[in-house]
């Protein structure tokens, strides 16, 4: 009954319906999963599962009634957005690896997804790709600025993480907003006020252990995992992957992502966006919520997911 | 409307005068082994010499004035002011270097391979001979950095430390521009035996380049928050050169194949860069839309010897974001680019001294 009421409350004026459910992992962490679908419309494609980067929430894919989740659902696909531990409304996240090792399988099992396409972003994207890049349930992956060459992207990013990765602090001062702009929204073409609004409501502080672990991963160049390491996991990833890179991403910058096509076992199609070809350079934020995202980015995602099997 | 256009053109034309080299610039013309005289310009150090001579090389469709535009925008004169003897060079058929002349045996086509096989070795040998230096430092912008990569990867010597600025080693990044180049490039450069009239095109476009504040030139080549449009306009007027068809075709093959090779494909420069032992500083700019940061990083990763990565961006302390040309003509480039390059040279001067 509660789920029904939530679904009705979240439904948009169009046919698109949005519903929410909680998924509890084997270690007791509550995850938040949102479902976007148009009733009566079926797609031959498998559902798409969207996962935001560290510090971001569902808002990365659905903010103020717009975003990739609704855009894909409007095309007839069933879309899920998952907030893993430490993200959005999910329970606390104190380590990175459980997001991939525990949370994603829990979501797939709870939703009974035996075939799914993944859209992942940034550092979490690299982690999911490393752990699930050859998961039989995963058909294709769209990786948005997903790094393989880990290093502190800049002095500013390093300082932000060393300070605990607290977005709430950034939101509380003009200087903080400036840091957010440089790292996540550089030269972004966003509607007025959207950047500040997203910082205020679309982000969540990293826990100190996760901020420290992410920084250690960057500094060491790799993330140790229970079975090997992240880079080793990426080397085994075999699912067809589309790597979309925004030139202005200051948090998981393209120079740290481009080598993914050499590291992965599977085929990786790369596209770098820049203002030279129109649109914008795309930052971490604007690749998903920017003014040009629906015309430049989303069609590439759809074209890749909808392309015939090779 | 006409008067407004005239006013725009007049204001634009005011910046179009060629700023001549200063009287203390010394000109040299060493000749390559295959008969091309190259233009080299020498600036002696201000005061006591403080390190090795530095040779500076421009990119494609450009000439020596890219590294020496005027008093306030000159990597060469800035190095000289810091006690480093600085030399600029024009690759064959650019700037004041010899152009093609079949009667003199200087024939087209000109390939990228000619630059690293003939021009750079000639310039290095000449600077060493004139100055008596056992080895010199080198900074190359864009293709000027690629020339150094190719030269060093094939065992070239005489360079003590190198800085590359916006120098890519892969050009297949799925951009719309690449698709356009793949489609139109072979038609535009129908034969390697041509010189594309980029100088004429730039000259015709120059008066209009400050009319649009966010036009294709700003989007592609420079960022007005780092370079005054009038500075860019001067660069276009006298820092541009015709583009060798053979070179364009060789670089187009990078777009098509993703491989950085000799024109016959036998030499794989990128693979051979693992053999480089010369220290190299690799400089990239966050908003370089010509040499994309992943394309520049690709070269950094390929290097075998001591190497350092420097990303110019506000997040690393720069006061503005940089595009491709801002790295050499940016208003703050002396502090934000040239200084770290000099520091790198000095650091390796000390570390490699006996």
Helix, strand, coil shares, percent, chain B, to 5? 45, 15, 40
What are the CA-CA distances from residue A203 to residues A55, A216, B19 (Å)? 5, 22, 52
Contact A271, B336 (CB under 8 A): no
Domain of A74 in residue numbering reads as: 2-306
Q: Which residues of A132-144 are buried (b: 16+ CB within 10 A; e: fewer)?
A: bbbbebbbbbbbb
Which chain B residues have a beta carbon less than 8 Å from that of A253? 286, 293, 311
Angle made by CA atoms B26, B331, B319, in degrees to the nearest 5 = 145
Contact B32, B124 (CB under 8 A): no
DSSP secondary structure of B19-36: -PPPTT-EEE--B-TTS-
| A157 → chain B, closest CA residue | B315
pLDDT reading at B9 higher than 60:
no
Contact B295, B284 (CB under 8 A): no
- Dump pLDDT digits (tens) for A137-185: 999 999 999 999 999 999 999 999 999 999 999 999 999 999 999 999 9
Of the candidate CATH numbers 3.40.50.1820, 2.40.50.140, 3.40.350.10, 3.40.50.720, the domain formed by B25-351 belongs to 3.40.50.1820
Give A34's contacts (C-beta < 8 A, 6+ positions apart).
Answer: A10, A18, A19, A20, A58, A62, A69, A80, A81, A82
| Per-residue pLDDT at B6 | 52
- Dump pLDDT digits (tens) for B128-173: 999 999 999 999 999 999 999 999 999 999 999 999 999 999 999 9
- Start-end of H helices in B132-175: 143-153
Contact B269, B262 (CB under 8 A): yes
Helix (H, G, I), strand (E, B) or coil at B238: helix
Nearest to B284 among A248, A255, A272 (CB): A255
The verdict on ipTM greater than 0.90 is: yes
Please report how many Cα atoms fall inside a 13 Å half-sphere around the Cα of residue B35, on the Cβ side. 12
Q: Given its phi and psi angles, is residue B54 left (phi above 0), alpha (psi -120 to 50 degrees) or beta?
A: beta
- CB within 8 Å: A182 and B315: yes
Nearest to A245 among B289, B294, B296 (CB): B294
- Provide the chain A residues 231-260 that lie in CB contact (below 8 A) with chain B: 245, 247-248, 250, 253-259
User: A292 — contact with chain B (CB < 8 Å)?
Assistant: no
What are the CA-CA distances from residue B101 to residues B28, B107, B216, B243 (Å)? 20, 6, 34, 16
| Per-residue pLDDT at B12 | 52
| B172 → chain A, closest CA residue | A270
pLDDT reading at B353 higher than 70:
no
Q: Where are the domains of chain B?
A: 25-351
Give the span between the Cα atoms of B169 and B220, in whole angstroms: 18
Which chain B residues have a beta carbon less than 8 Å from that of A304? none
Nearest to A154 among B174, B177, B311 (CB): B311
- How many domains, in total, are found in chain A? 1
* Domain harbouring A124, CATH code: 3.40.50.1820
Which chain A residues have a beta carbon less than 8 Å from that of B219? 275-276
- Dump pLDDT digits (tens) for A10-37: 444 458 999 999 999 999 999 999 999 9
Chain B residues whose C-beta is within 8 A of a chain A C-beta are: 170, 172-177, 216, 219-220, 284, 286-287, 289-290, 292-298, 301, 311, 313-317, 321
The model's confidence at residue B214, banded by pLDDT at 50, 70 and 90, is confident
Give the span between the Cα atoms of A202 and A171, in whole angstroms: 11
- CB within 8 Å: A258 and B317: no
Contact B321, B223 (CB under 8 A): yes
- Dump pLDDT digits (tens) for A67-115: 999 999 999 999 999 999 999 999 999 999 999 999 999 999 999 999 9
User: A153 — contact with chain B (CB < 8 Å)?
Assistant: yes
For residues B3-15, give the mean pLDDT: 53
Give B254's contacts (C-beta < 8 A, 6+ positions apart).
Answer: B170, B171, B172, B260
User: For residue B164, how many other CB atoms are within 10 A of its CB?
Assistant: 30
- CB within 8 Å: B219 and A273: no
């Amino acid at each position: 009954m509660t789920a029904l009421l939530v679904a009705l409350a979240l439904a948009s004026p169009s046919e698109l319906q949005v519903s929410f459910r909680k998924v509890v992992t084997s270690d007791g962490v509550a995850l938040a999963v949102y479902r976007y679908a148009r009733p009566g419309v079926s797609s031959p494609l498998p559902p798409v599962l969207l996962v935001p980067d560290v510090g971001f929430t569902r808002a990365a894919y659905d903010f103020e009634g717009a975003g990739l989740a609704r855009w894909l659902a409007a095309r007839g696909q069933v879309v899920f957005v998952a907030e893993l531990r430490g993200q959005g409304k999910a329970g606390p996240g104190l380590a990175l690896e459980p997001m991939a090792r525990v949370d994603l399988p829990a979501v797939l099992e709870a939703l009974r997804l035996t075939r799914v396409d993944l859209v992942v972003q940034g550092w979490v994207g690299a982690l999911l790709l490393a752990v699930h890049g050859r998961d039989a349930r995963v058909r294709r992956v769209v990786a948005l600025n997903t790094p393989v060459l880990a290093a502190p992207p800049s002095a500013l990013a390093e300082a932000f993480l060393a300070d605990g990765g607290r977005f709430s602090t950034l939101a509380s001062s003009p200087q903080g907003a400036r840091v957010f702009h440089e790292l996540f929204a550089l030269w972004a073409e966003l509607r007025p006020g959207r950047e500040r609004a997203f910082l205020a409501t679309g982000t969540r502080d990293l826990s100190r252990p996760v901020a420290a672990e992410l920084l250690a991963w960057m500094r060491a160049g790799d993330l140790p995992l229970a079975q090997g390491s992240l880079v080793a996991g990426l080397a085994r990833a075999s699912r067809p992957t589309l790597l979309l890179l925004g030139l202005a991403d200051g948090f998981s910058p393209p120079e740290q992502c481009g080598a993914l096509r050499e590291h992965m076992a599977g085929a990786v199609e790369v596209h770098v966006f820049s203002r030279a070809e129109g649109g914008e350079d795309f930052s971490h934020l604007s690749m998903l919520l920017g003014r040009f995202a629906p015309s430049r980015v989303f069609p590439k995602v759809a074209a890749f997911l909808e392309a015939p099997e090779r | 409307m006409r008067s407004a256009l005239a006013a725009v053109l007049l204001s634009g034309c005011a910046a179009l005068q060629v700023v001549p080299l200063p009287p203390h610039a010394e000109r040299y013309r060493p000749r390559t082994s295959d008969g091309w005289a190259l233009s080299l310009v020498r600036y002696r150090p201000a005061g006591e010499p403080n390190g090795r001579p530095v040779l500076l090389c421009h990119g494609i469709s450009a000439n020596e004035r890219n590294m020496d535009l005027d008093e306030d925008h000159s990597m060469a004169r800035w190095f000289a002011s810091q006690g480093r003897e600085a030399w600029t060079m024009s690759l064959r058929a650019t700037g004041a270097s010899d152009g093609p002349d079949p009667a003199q045996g200087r024939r087209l086509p000109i390939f990228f391979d000619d630059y690293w096989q003939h021009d750079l070795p000639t310039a290095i040998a000449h600077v060493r001979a004139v100055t008596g230096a056992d080895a010199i430092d080198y900074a190359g912008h864009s293709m000027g950095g690629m020339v150094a990569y190719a030269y060093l990867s094939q065992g070239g010597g005489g360079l003590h430390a190198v800085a590359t600025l916006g120098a890519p080693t892969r050009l297949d990044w799925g951009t719309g521009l690449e698709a356009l180049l793949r489609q139109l490039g072979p038609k535009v450069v129908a034969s390697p035996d041509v010189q594309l009239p980029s100088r004429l095109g730039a000259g015709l476009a120059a008066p209009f380049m400050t009319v649009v504040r966010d036009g294709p030139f700003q989007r592609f080549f420079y960022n007005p928050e780092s370079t005054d449009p009038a500075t860019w306009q001067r660069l276009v007027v006298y820092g541009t050169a015709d583009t060798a068809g053979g070179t364009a075709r060789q670089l187009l093959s990078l777009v098509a194949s993703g491989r950085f090779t000799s024109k016959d494909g036998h030499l794989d420069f990128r693979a051979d860069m693992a053999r480089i032992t010369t220290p190299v500083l690799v400089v990239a700019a966050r908003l370089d839309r010509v040499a994309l940061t992943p394309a520049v990083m690709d070269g950094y990763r390929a290097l075998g010897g001591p190497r350092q990565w420097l990303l110019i961006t506000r997040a690393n302390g720069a006061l503005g974001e940089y595009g491709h040309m801002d790295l050499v003509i940016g208003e703050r480039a002396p502090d934000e680019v040239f200084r770290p390059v000099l520091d790198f040279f000095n650091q390796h001067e000390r570390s490699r001294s006996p």
